[in-house]
Amino acid sequence: MARFDPRGKANRALLVGVPAYDFKQPGHPFGVSGDLGAVEQNLAALQGALRGGGVFAEDGITVARPHTVDEFDRQLDAAVEAAEGLLLLYFSGHGAVPSTGDELWLLMRRATIVPGDESVFRGATPWKGVLTVLSRARAEQVVVILDCCYAGNASAAWNGLGTAQRQRTSLLMSVQANNRIDAGDGHSPTPYTAQLVRFLSEGLSGQGGEVGFVELAQELWAHMAEHHTTLREPAEPWEPQSRAAASGADVLLAAPPVRSPAGLPPQEPDPAPGGSGAGPSSPQSPGPGSGPGPGSDRRPDWLGRLRPLTGRRLAAAIGVPAVLAGLAATGIAALGGGDGAPCKPPLELRLLTDPDLEPTVRKAAEGYLTSAENTSEGGCRRTGITVYSAGAAAAVAAFNRQSDPWQRPVADDTNPQRDIGPQPDIWIPGSSASVDRARTASSERTYVALEADPEPFAYSPVVLAVPQDPAAEPLAERVGGLAALTEALRKHEPKSEVRRTDPENTDAGLLATVGLYGAGTQDPATVEHGLAQPGPPSRTGGDLLCSLPDDDIADKRTTVLVPEFLLRSGVGCDSTTRIRRMAEYPVDVPGLSPTFVRVRWPGTERDKDARDNAVERFHTWLTGKGAAAKNGAKASVSAVRGGLAVFGNDGFRSASDPHKPLGNGADPSADNGVVFSSFGALDNPGPLAGPAVPAAMTAALKGYREANGPGRVLFLLDSSGSMGSLWEGPGGAPGIISQSLAGLGEQDEYGVWAVATEPGSSRVYSEVLQFGKHRREEAQSAITAKAQVKDLEADPDKALVAALDYMRQHGTDGRGPQLIVYLTDDEDNNRFSEGGRLGALLLSARAERRIPVVMASLDSAGCDKGKPDAAISEASGGRCLDTKSDLVARLRDEVARTGTGDQG
């Protein structure tokens, strides 16, 4: 085979690595799962190998760690312009593919991801675009090496190159398509690059000599294919892919000096790629039965000592060349054994819980990971746990009637993998009644089995958290019916307000609603009108408590219905900035009753026994119950000091004796020292409400959804030229609006405007969907067909003024809720600064506060304090959404709150 020898020519190597990321989980909901220390090792090792390879001069090797796509583009352009012989591009960092496609994206340091979207990876560059830039290079040969997850997905774009470009472009991919890979612990190179460097430095024989592309690709494949990715089901061999230049000519990449066998350094142990963890919710993600099986024992120590990672749910498939691309992973470390032997990756369990419970459940899972019960005799971690939460109503509905699409999503409207997360092994709802609500009727077909404990393992009453000054001191005045307690508050403070969280999002919010509706004796519309809190309800108890300090006057007269434990465990805001609160106990509001539920999915039998054993061990540690606890008191005591103690320290009560904190019952010696009175609660408030009746929760949710009748929603869709890259597919702007229609029924009225200003015209929008009642499928088809990007600018100020005026005129009958949604990339927000236009708009929005405006920004910073989007939504009583949160799901929730459609 002919070989292109670039030595002596103007060669360039651009080594691109992204070892650190600015936006990471859990601090940033839509950041990446973590930094990649191994990437830094890759850059140093590969740079050294190329320096000694005799092909690239010292000044011909550039190492780049780009923060943004612009930085990457500049470095790539420079290399493309300079190379005349061989141009080599290497990339190592986070790789990603969309949940509904297979195109590879390379994530730069400031990358964020819009969950559920097909192509919205902010701060990332599409691989297809990189190939387009490389196609204009003057170099005689181009070689690209990709060491990232989903690297094999790059082959499709290579196949699509023109004949001339395929003739001179060669491609090495670290793994086959739709697979993630392991990057080690950050102290050594990734497994693939480690072998790449070894071959380039020592030659393919280990004794130096020339290294060509074709033989290098073959050797890398042969070496890595001995191992498994372990991240798909069934586990697949790790098979790096390659595409040699179509000309048939080989390319010389290195020529290290030939050395005698006696002069060789000791050989490294073969790396055994491994992985652990629940992948992101996407078609490429494995199901719950696809956790790592037994891995190869032939692995160096640096692969056996893996650090814990954390993260939050992503609906797009984030390819991470690390141990876990996760959904709120609490930790998955595989530790080195006590005898120095490396550890195999631990089996990963997925745990879904209620949003109010998530912080405490996460603490418990983190405690279990390093506990003696989760450590083998050899000192290795047995199990990892991924913790994530989702809206309580959505989770119940998904188990009840969406178990099939949860395994195999077939439509954008119904996709629990995207909206909730991967199929869990464990579910801990906020109320034991939710388990019965989630079960299907015996005659209905289901693809999931819920095996719940007969009793909850903890308890927390839902209390009235009352500002301390107006709170009644005597015990008798702090316990009673909800109506009597709220009436007493109003007598003390006529302007007293009561608020509760979103009944759709947490069980605590729905339990509070059960109490407010008086088990069906009160008219939901009258109750909701009496609550009349500004803006949409808070999503969690913590959010509710943290939102109060923004208004000191309202804070002092506002009582909130929240789980009692939040008064102990605190929330994310500074406790000194809000009025101290104490608990009053409504005896007719059901309490929070966390329950352990084993979730089984038919067809995931590959590691059934190992998974059952892992769930049982965690179950026993957390609750003190289960098969392991039957062996004696030791397991129960361990739980009191372990799992239950975590809940006790956060302010939960014993499920069997609600007058005692967890930790005082089964083992008095394990007293966690919690005193309820220390955080405004009562040690013994007398009889407390028990768990809810499932029918009461179902009726309350139905009443809440129908309380205000059919709604009206006007969507404003930014269709200016800057939206072009945010337009196509279900994750594009029209697709996002189409998905949000799931919350609207045939009795609701809605329409869509495209916002773009024609030159010389005073009209700032055009009609995409006429305002009125629609069948959802017909409306979605109309949006897809008529919504188009135009090479124009948008005028958000005039469009919003027109929308407020339109909704004012169409809401004169006073019935039903109204909502305006403006979906935009904020590119034209500079218009607000012209002549005080923003101030005038805010005055108009405040005047029409019964028409809330949801500003949905495709910019991750769109809702930052001081930005126009945040100010407009606040002034109107709406909500501001950007890509720091799950914009698609949150927008659907906001629309569902206004409409009467499928909100479950």
DSSP state of 661: B
Contacts of residue 574, defined as CB under 8 A and 6 or more positions apart, other chains included, come to none
Whether the predicted model's global pTM rises above the 0.75 cut? no
Written as six digits, the tokens of 369 are 């990971």
What is the crossing angle of helices 796-809 and 837-847, to 10°? Answer: 20
Per the DSSP assignment, residues forming a β-bridge with 592 are: 460
Task: Return the percentage of the chain with pLDDT > 70, whole number.
Answer: 79
Across 524-538, 548-562, 655-669, 812-826, least confident range: 655-669
Give 21-47 pLDDT, tens digit per residue.
988 878 787 888 788 889 999 999 999
Across 263-272, 297-306, 472-481, 631-640, least confident range: 297-306
Q: What is the DSSP string of 510-550?
A: HHHHHHHTGGGTS-HHHHHHHH--SSSPPSSHHHHHHHGGG
For residue 747, what pLDDT band results from cuts at 50, 70 and 90? confident
Mean of pLDDT values over 186-202: 90
Q: What are the two backbone dihedrals, phi and then psi, of residue 482, each rounded to the nearest 5 degrees? A: -60, -45
Per the DSSP assignment, residues forming a β-bridge with 14 are: 62, 89
Give 44-90 pLDDT, tens digit per residue.
999 999 999 999 998 999 999 999 998 999 999 999 999 999 999 99
Q: What are the two backbone dihedrals, phi and then psi, of residue 127, each rounded to the nearest 5 degrees? A: -60, -35
Q: Name the 3-class secondary structure at 84.
A: coil
Cis preceding-peptide flag for 234 (omega within 30 of 0): yes
CA-based radius of gyration for the chain: 29
Mean of pLDDT values over 109-129: 78
Mean of pLDDT values over 719-738: 86
897 closest CA partner among 697, 743, 716: 743
Written as six digits, the tokens of 692 are 């809810």
* Mean pLDDT comparison of 16-20, 201-205, 386-390, highest-scoring range: 16-20
* Mean pLDDT comparison of 520-534, 652-666, 709-723, 884-898, highest-scoring range: 709-723
Q: What is the DSSP string of 130-195?
A: HHHHHTT---SEEEEEEESTTGGGGHHHHHTS-HHHHHHEEEEESS-TT-----TTSSS--HHHHH
Across the chain, mean pLDDT equals 80
Alpha helices in 28-84 (DSSP H): 37-51, 69-82
Q: Are 158 and 144 in contact (CB under 8 A)?
A: no
**What does the pLDDT read at residue 473?**
55
Q: For tokens 């609701």, what's the residue?
A: 748
Q: Distance (Å, rounded) from C-alpha 101 to C-alpha 14?
A: 28
Q: Distance (Å, rounded) from C-alpha 814 to C-alpha 456?
A: 45
**What does the pLDDT read at residue 869?**
93
Q: Which helix (H) or strand (E) holds 15?
A: strand 12-17
Q: How are strands ordered across the β-sheet holding 581-586? A: 479-480, 581-586, 462-467, 558-563, 497-500
Give 654-666 pLDDT, tens digit per residue.
998 888 877 644 4
What 75-78 contacts at long range (C-beta under 8 Å, 24+ apart), as own/partner pairs, is 75/14, 75/16, 76/14, 76/130, 76/133, 76/134, 77/133
Q: Are 362 and 308 in contact (CB under 8 A)?
A: no
Could you write out the three-class secondary structure of 373-441? Answer: HHECCCCCECEEEEEEECCHHHHHHHHHHCHHHHHCCCCCCCCHHHHCCCCCCEEECCCCHHHHHHCCC
Q: Name the 3-class secondary structure at 219.
A: helix
Q: For tokens 């975590």, what's the residue?
A: 646
Q: Distance (Å, rounded) from C-alpha 184 to C-alpha 303?
A: 5
**What does the pLDDT read at residue 337?**
44
Q: What is the DSSP string of 313-371?
A: --SSEEE-SSS---SSEEE---PPPTTSPPPPPPEEEEEEE-TTTHHHHHHHHHHHHTS
Strands 12-17 and 61-64: parallel
Query: Residue 651: is its pLDDT beyond 70?
Result: yes
Q: Distance (Å, rounded) from C-alpha 608 to C-alpha 626?
A: 18
**What does the pLDDT read at residue 549?**
57
Within 10 angstroms of residue 753's Cβ, the number of other Cβ atoms is 23
Within 10 angstroms of residue 180's Cβ, the number of other Cβ atoms is 31
Q: Are 245 and 167 in contact (CB under 8 A)?
A: yes
Q: Are 97 and 103 in contact (CB under 8 A)?
A: yes
Written as six digits, the tokens of 100 are 């509904």
Give 332-350 pLDDT, tens digit per residue.
233 344 445 556 767 889 9
DSSP state of 237: B
Q: Distance (Å, rounded) from C-alpha 773 to C-alpha 748?
A: 6
Contacts of residue 600, defined as CB under 8 A and 6 or more positions apart, other chains included, come to 448, 449, 451
Contacts of residue 485, defined as CB under 8 A and 6 or more positions apart, other chains included, come to 464, 584, 586
226 closest CA partner among 240, 214, 213: 240
Contacts of residue 299, defined as CB under 8 A and 6 or more positions apart, other chains included, come to 269, 270, 271, 272, 274, 342
**What does the pLDDT read at residue 608?**
87
> How long, in residues, is the chain?
904
Give 375-432 pLDDT, tens digit per residue.
888 888 889 888 889 899 999 999 998 988 888 877 666 778 877 888 899 999 999 9
Query: Residue 861: is its pLDDT beyond 80?
Result: no
Q: Distance (Å, rounded) from C-alpha 438 to C-alpha 606?
A: 26
